[in-house]
Structure 1
Amino acid sequence: MGFGFFNGAMLIGLSAMALPLLAHLISRRRFDVVSWGAMQFLQLGRKTRRRIRLEELLLMAMRMGVLGLIAFGMSRPWASGGALSALSGRASRDVVLVVDSSYSMGWKGPINTPHAQAIQWGHQCLDTLRPGDTVSLLDVRDQVRSVIDTPSSDFDYARQSLDELPTPSGSSNLASGVRQAIQILSRSSNASREVIVLTDSQKLPWRPEDIYQWTRIEDSSKRMSVPPRIWVVDLVGEVADRSNVAVGAIELSRQLTVPEFPIRIRSTISQTHPAQKRVVAHLEVNGQRVVEKSQAVELPANGEASVEFEHRFMDTGSHLISVVVDEDNLPGDDRADAVVEVADGIPVLVVDGDPRADPTQSDSFFVMSAFSAVRESPWVRAQKISLSEMNSESFQGKAVVWLLNVPTLTQPQAEAMIKFAREGGAIVFAAGNQNQAGWYNALPPALSKTLAPAKLIEVQSDVDLKLGAMRLEGDSLTAPWLERFQTDQGVDLTSTRFSQWWRMEPVAAEVVPQPNPGVPLPVANLSGEPAVPQTIPGGTVLAKLDNGAPWLITRPLGKGIVAQLAVPLDSDWSTLPSKNDFVPLLHEMVFAYSTQSTTRNVDLGAPLVLNQAALGEMVVRGPDGKETRIATKTEGDRRTARYTQAELPGVYEMRPVVGGGKTERFAVNFDRRESDLARLTPPEQEGLAKKGLVFTADPADIEKGAIDNQAPSEFWWWLLLIVIGLLVFEVVMTRRLVQGGHILIEPPLATPQV
């Protein structure tokens, strides 16, 4: 038999039991006795006085008992099992329905999907609730959506909320959902508290290996006055065949491009089936299938294969790209989406560090020629300035800044460049003969550590090192935008001869010192995991020469990126400008690094940001078809629309409320591991059962558990009946004493005088 209190602090009220006793002691005042002969005929007998004193003591005890029972009842005592629980009957229930809405719940079974069964089961659960019971509702996906956060007795609203749940999508985190459900129940008031998880018993959402998360859940449950019962309803059970074909996340050669410029779309098709299978992968652009680009893919047993498409966009704007396979029993992973932004020319700034009277001798000559020699309407709109002209205003509206053989920077210039990169811009340094080893050391240490992606050590040459002709190592070009220039795919980039180059070393990553080493780091996110120390990323080598020396090093900086080339982009140190791949290389570099400023493909929870938004309000349409209005505001030199409620994975559309502007698209990504339909193994279920979870496939078990004698039951109303009875008895005794004309007679303190 269990016993406890919901409001244990109210037991302090038991001290009020002393009030009647104090009142009795205070009222016992002693009086002088004046002898009067006639009083002897009014004195009571000894038996009568004893009876009156007993009645008064009994009356005082009843009053003390009434106060004690009131304080005891206000502490809300409960009992589970035993006679008290049996007498109390079924306790009022606080129920939290936790619905698994990952896309595995969209599996098309013989009758219905598990998600539809979960909604149906939720309605059946609501039918079992009575007046006084409450219900809450959590929609668990990659993030937990609190549909009904405060326990509610409005069951009609709960039914409506169940019916309005969006279709399954993305992954889910049931461990986080259970913890949030326990937090809701910690604020509830009924004696019976239950968490009911409706799921397909897939392993991934439970995170059984996350010991930290489950320890927090266990501790939260134990801290409650009445630990909740956590039920897990398996809506699928064992299914003989759950083979599935899934499309992996889309990889784009670039997210920002220009009209008529080719873009490569790559994805992975996988299957969970013990036999080889042939599937057809389709490419869709803005919802329209490009039939001539469909590809047949041979999938090995329980294996995967890559698929790649190439496409050219003719119009500017944001375009939706989709890789699709024919629908199977799990349609949630039969397609993958991404958004490509097509701009009418990308604005860049070219800073010439060694301008000459003869333009053909300037470091910027070949770069400017490459950007203007492609077509009448250039894909890259380049503006050239000298180093002395560069200031913070020079970066406005630019996507990439090229610094060609720039010998030094002033502190204001460096600060402006850091701000530009942190806001999403890209900076490319091309070192040449004007640079000195450690040139960035002239800047304050805080700026040089932030801005420099590499250390310039010394100039080397193939003659001094006696290495012969030095070229690019084709196998080192593994970045997506560099793959087309590999030896077996490119034209002639890897045949470029380099006579001189800067020996460079990438800067190392740095950990920001903790301000107070003795103070624990704060909580980083809603899952309760502790924050990790902040780390400044180091440089990454993207391309090498034949001797292993770095040729291109990059480093992220805020939302942007900083790159360092080991050679200038003229003909002094290499034959690079004479190669056919020179122009495509510079364009690919611009497109790849301009992507830093676009945020059309984001992870779940990240805001959707539209730069250069129209005046007034914007309408955002989510994957569930619901529309929301948001206001635009000015951020720096841009007018921006920012949507922070992207709680569902999928495609979002944003357009002006008035004016009929273009529809801008965004893709919110999710964890594709959800395609793994592996169920919890018996040992994993046993491990979770030790944490307090009860697995069942029969919903009737839950209703039975709510009314069995192990469920906590309050019995304060029994105490209320006793208090009422004592009050009635107290009134009767008081009337009896008063109507009898009796008062307290103290024994004489002295012998009366005759």
Structure 2
Amino acid sequence: MSLEFLNPVLLFGLAALALPIIAHLLSKKRFDVVQWGAMQFLDLGKRRRRRVRIEELLLLLLRMAIVGLLALAIARPTISRGFFANFVSTDNRDTVFVMDGSYSMGRSDGETTPHNQARAVMHKILNHARPGDTFALLDARDQTRFVGDGPLRDANQLRTWIDALPPPAGASNLAAAVADALQILGTTSHVRRDVVVMTDGQARSWHPTDAAQWQVIDELRGQPAVQPQLWVVNFQAADTPSNFILDRLDASRARAPVGFPVRVSTTLRYTSEVGPGECNLYFEVDGQRLGDATIKSPLLESGGEFRVEFEHRFSTAGSHVLSVVLDDDDVPGDNRADVAIAVTQPLRVILVDGTPHLDPTRSETFFAEAALRSDAEHSPFIDSRFVTSQNLNLSVIDRADVIVLANVATLSAEQAEMLRQFVEAGGGLLVAPGQLVQSENYRTLLSDLLPGDLTAFVEPEEAANVDVGQLQLPWQIGAADIDELATARFTGYWEMTPHEQANVPARLVSGDPLLVSSPVGRGRVMLLSTPLDADGSTLPTKSVYVALLHEMLFYLAAAEEFPLNVNVGEPLLQPLIDEAAEAEIRVNRPDGTTATPEIGGEPPLVRFDDTSAPGVYELEQPRRNRGGTRSSVATRFVVNFDRGERDLTPLSVTEIEELSADGRITFVDSPDDLEAQLLTDDSRTELWQMLVVLVFALLCLEIWMTRRLVQGGHAVLDAAASAHPHPPQGTT
């Protein structure tokens, strides 16, 4: 049996014990004595005087006891009950349940999963809930999700939330979830505070090597007067003899026009304890499986990989989702990969020719126009128009998604300002300077718009080539295209000085930048060091020129779009279509439930922040058509998770010992052991309620003794007056 105080600092209140003593001593201060005739009749006897002093002393001790007990009650003493610790605790407690929501908790043995087992154990623990107990529930994923409003005292409400937990998906960060749980317990008041973590023992979720995170946990444990107890129960998942895993799905572009081929690729991985295996990979478009696009993997050994690629052309504009799916196995959480694509009408490109000529072959934009021209079999991917620099005005700019300045010598201040506003609003700008360009004009009017400064146009004695080993292009490019790009010879180009925040995705072997880009407002700007025609290089004569130009234009145009592919925890954003229909906007989550997003900003945006669960989300916005009818615009998003969750390695004995050091965490062997230890271990009782009752009783006793002492004095005076009547008035 031991005595502890939850607020030991408040024991300094015991110094108030001196207050009754000081008051008593001050009441004994000597005063001047004035003798008068009747004083002799009030003189008390020695026996009665001794009795009064004893009563005064008892009253002093009583008042000191009241002050001392009140100070002890405020310090909240607790006492361990020794013998009673072997039985179920009857004290109120605060409990935070942390459920591991990673997809490894969905491993099945054909009958159940660790996730279902954990929910059953939480229900069993709640059977022992007492009135006054508080509970909270955290769903630990890539980001911790607080379930409901906690802590709460309604165990039945918590049961409802437990049953409504979404199925395991994505990864989890248990260390961060434990820190969140400790912060919750820092606001509670009961003497028993527990964090109960339900997991499958996977090491990766604990981040055991993240020293900073665990230092935060130790600090949070040490802050409250009642140190929370951390319990971890590992639900041993079913053995997984073999498992096929899909990596994140990559797309050749995030935005493509109708009819343009979009390639998606991913890596199939295989782990096994029983030998090699093979599986089917299915291709889906907006949830519909394409029967003619199924690939059978080769026979893979454990640890083997297989790169798979699909291609698709969309026939309608809008947002679409491409998916690669595997047959169900014991670990379903890694059998699917999705990517969202924004499909648009043909891209509107304005080619501004700096050297127009009657002979089209001698025009600055001749090769560019030829590269963007579509054949008769396919609809155009890019709707390009040619204008001269003199005709570059606001009406032209308003009809463009991307503007290309092809060896435009100078720009007026008005044109420079229009281009700046165009890019900041989400447009794309490609600048391809030639020898005619006056660098001082560009530096004066476009220095804050361009990603670099034009220094000098050079014509090296020996032609330069692209340093393909240093390529960092923001789009995919095939190996054959890279090989052909390496053969292009550059005989004339601008030396450029990139700005501090600019990106340099391509350089020449001389080290000079070939491409420089940077975001500006909601748009993008790209600066090419050589002209688009064949005056400065042999690039326009290569077939890779067509692909390269298309990719540059698509990349510049995609800047105006809000991303459709985000990571867990990142918001979903889209422009508001109809302000009058805000109340009808809905978000459909991956689990089939709906939610209402927020709307705000200028211009107004639709924003949805609750992306803790990975998968496909759909934003539905009403739209009023010209004829007065209404329709719905659906925008699809894909929320991706950390695919490193595929590493199912459990915590090692050394890692468990490190996490358990200094009593930080208690790992239990089974759910039954958790229940037994959680409900009986170190049961303690708070004494402050009893002390408050005792203080109230002593206050009543103090009032009675004070009244008795006062009334006793009056009785003495009355008795003395009866024995010695007052002499008549006027006598001496």
Task: Give the TM-score category using the shorter length.
Answer: 0.7 to 0.9
User: For residues 225 and 344 of structure 1, what CA distance do their matches in structure 2 show?
Assistant: 64
1:400 aligned residue: 402
CA gap 1:209/1:388 in 2 versus in 1, 3 angstroms: farther
* Contact 1:406-1:435 within 8 A present in 2 as well: yes
Match of 2:308 in 1: 307
Classify 1:577/1:305 alpha carbon distance in 2 versus 1 (closer, same or farther; 3 Å): same
Deviations 1:103-140 (A, max 9, x none): 11111134311111222111112112211211011111
The alignment of Structure 1 onto Structure 2 pairs a total of residues equal to 703
Matches within 5 A, 1:100-499: 100-236=100-236, 240-241=239-240, 243-274=242-273, 275-298=275-298, 299-355=300-356, 361-374=362-375, 377-387=379-389, 398-407=400-409, 424-435=426-437, 441-442=443-444, 448=447, 451-454=449-452, 456-461=454-459, 465-466=461-462, 479=473, 481=475, 483-484=477-478, 486-487=480-481, 496=488, 498-499=490-491
The change in CA–CA distance for 1:390 and 1:149 in structure 2 (over 3 A counts) is farther
The C-alpha deviation readout for 1:34-53, integer Å capped at 9, x for no partner, is: 3436x545532213212211
Alignment pair present for 1:567 and 2:530: yes
Q: 1:722 aligns with which of 694, 700, 715?
A: 694
Opposite residue 601 of structure 1, the aligned amino acid is N
How big is the shift at 1:625?
1.5
2-side partners of 1:67 and 1:410: how far apart?
87
- Residues 494, 89 of structure 1: alpha-carbon distance in 2 compared, 3 angstrom cutoff: closer
- 2:650, 2:523 → 1: CA distance? 41
Distance 2:515 2:615 in 1: 35
In terms of mean alpha carbon deviation, does 580-589 or 131-140 score higher?
580-589
Distance 1:40 1:496 in 2: 130
Q: By how many angstroms is 1:359 displaced?
A: 6.0
User: For residues 186 and 595 of structure 2, what CA distance do their matches in structure 1 show?
Assistant: 33
| Secondary structure in structure 2 of the residue aligned to 1:663 | strand
8 Å Cα contact 1:259-1:343 kept in structure 2 = yes
Q: For 2:522 and 2:103, locate their aligned partners in 1 and report how far apart those are by CA, in whole Å.
A: 31
What's the offset of the Cα at 1:721?
4.1
Q: In 1, distance between residues paired with 2:308 and 2:262? A: 14
- C-alpha distance 74-697 of structure 1, shift in aligned 2 (>3 A): same
- What is the deviation of 1:312? 1.2
Q: Report the secondary structure of 1:733's partner residue.
A: helix
Structure 2 matches for 1:501-650, cutoff 5 A? 501-504=493-496, 507=498, 510=500, 536=501, 538-542=502-506, 544=508, 550-556=513-519, 560-598=523-561, 599-611=563-575, 613-615=577-579, 616-617=581-582, 618-630=585-597, 635-636=602-603, 640-650=605-615
More off after superposition, 566-575 vs 221-230 = 566-575
Q: 1:703 to 1:579 in 2, by over 3 A?
A: closer
Pair 1:398–1:329, CA change in 2 (3 A): farther
Counterpart of 1:570, as a letter, is D
Q: Give, in angstroms, the shift of residue 554 of structure 1.
A: 3.6
Change (3 A) 1:80 1:564: farther
Pairing 1:46-61 to 2, within 5 Å after superposition: 46-61=46-61
TM superposition shift of 1:385:
4.8
Q: Is the 8 A contact 2:259 2:381 kept in 1?
A: no
CA, structure 1 residues 284+544, in 2 after alignment: closer, same or farther (shift >3 Å)? farther
Is 2:259–2:315's contact at 8 Å kept on the other side of the alignment? yes
Aligned mates of 1:411, 1:227 — CA distance in 2: 68
2:648 aligned with 1:654: no
Structure 1 residues 108 and 459, CA gap change in structure 2 (3 angstroms): same
Cα distance in 2 for partners of 1:107, 1:392 equals 60
1:125 maps to amino acid: I
Deviation at 1:706, TM superposition (A): 4.5
> Where does structure 1 lack aligned partners over 5 or more consecutive residues?
511-535, 746-753
Distance 2:140 2:705 in 1: 62
Structure 2 residue matching 1:307: 3-state secondary structure: strand
Question: 194-203 vs 736-745, which deviates more?
Answer: 736-745
On the 8 A contact 2:88/2:679 being kept in 1, the answer is no
How far the C-alpha of 1:572 sits from its partner, in A, is 2.5
1:684 corresponds to 2:655:
yes
Give the drift of 1:273: 1.6
Q: CA RMSD in A?
A: 3.6
Q: Is the alpha carbon distance of 1:240 and 1:703 closer, same or farther for their aligned partners in structure 2, counting shifts above 3 Å?
A: closer
Question: Is the partner of 2:631 in helix, strand or coil?
Answer: coil
SS across alignment from 1:293: coil
Contact 2:20 2:60 survives alignment (8 Å)? yes
* Structure 1 pair 416–644 and aligned structure 2 pair: CA distance change class (3 A): farther
TM-score for both structures, normalised by structure 2? 0.86
Following superposition, the deviation at residue 465 of structure 1 comes to: 1.9
The residue aligned with 1:45 is 45
Separation of aligned partners in 1, 2:231 and 2:665 = 6
Cα displacement (A) at 1:387: 4.6
TM-score by length of 1: 0.83
**Structure 1 residues 248 and 25, CA, compared in 2 at 3 Å: closer, same or farther?**
same
Shift of 1:248: 0.5
Structure 2 CA distance for aligned equivalents of residues 305 and 361 of structure 1: 48
5 Å-filtered alignment, 1:11-22, equals 11=11, 13-14=13-14, 16-22=16-22
Distance 1:277 1:542 in 2: 41
Aligned in 2, Cα 1:431/1:11: closer, same or farther, shift over 3 Å? same
Deviation (angstroms), 1:289: 1.4
Q: Supply the distance in 1 between the matched residues of 2:657 and 2:578 (Cα, whole angstroms).
A: 56
- Relative to structure 1, the CA distance from residue 76 to residue 387 in structure 2 (aligned partners, 3 Å threshold; closer, same or farther) is farther
Return 566-575 or 228-237, whichever deviates more.
566-575
Mapped to 2, the partners of 1:50 and 1:610 lie a distance apart of 90
The amino acid that maps onto 1:655 is E
Amino acid at match of 1:197: V
Amino acid in the other structure paired with 1:568:
P
Q: State the secondary structure of the residue aligned to 1:165.
A: coil
Shift of 1:619: 1.6
Contact kept, 8 Å, 1:253 with 1:480, in 2: the verdict is no
What SS is found at the alignment partner of 2:478?
Answer: helix
- 2:709 is matched with 737
Bigger mean CA offset, 48-57 vs 732-741: 732-741
Shift of 1:370: 3.8
Identity of aligned residues (%): 38
Q: Could you tell me how far apart the structure 1 residues matched to 2:694 and 2:232 are?
A: 41
**Per-residue deviation, 1:563:** 2.4
Whether the 8 Å CA contact 1:454–1:539 is kept in 2: the answer is no
| C-alpha deviation, 1:243, in angstroms | 3.3
Distance 1:273 1:425, change over 3 A: farther
> Which amino acid counterpart does residue 566 of structure 2 have in structure 1?
V
- Give the deviation of 1:689 after TM superposition: 0.8
Task: For 1:85 and 1:43, locate their aligned partners in 2 and report how far apart those are by CA, in whole Å.
Answer: 62
Q: Distance in 2 between the 1:383 and 1:498 partners?
A: 27
CA contact (8 A) 2:235 2:670 kept: no
Distance 1:310 1:92 in 2: 61
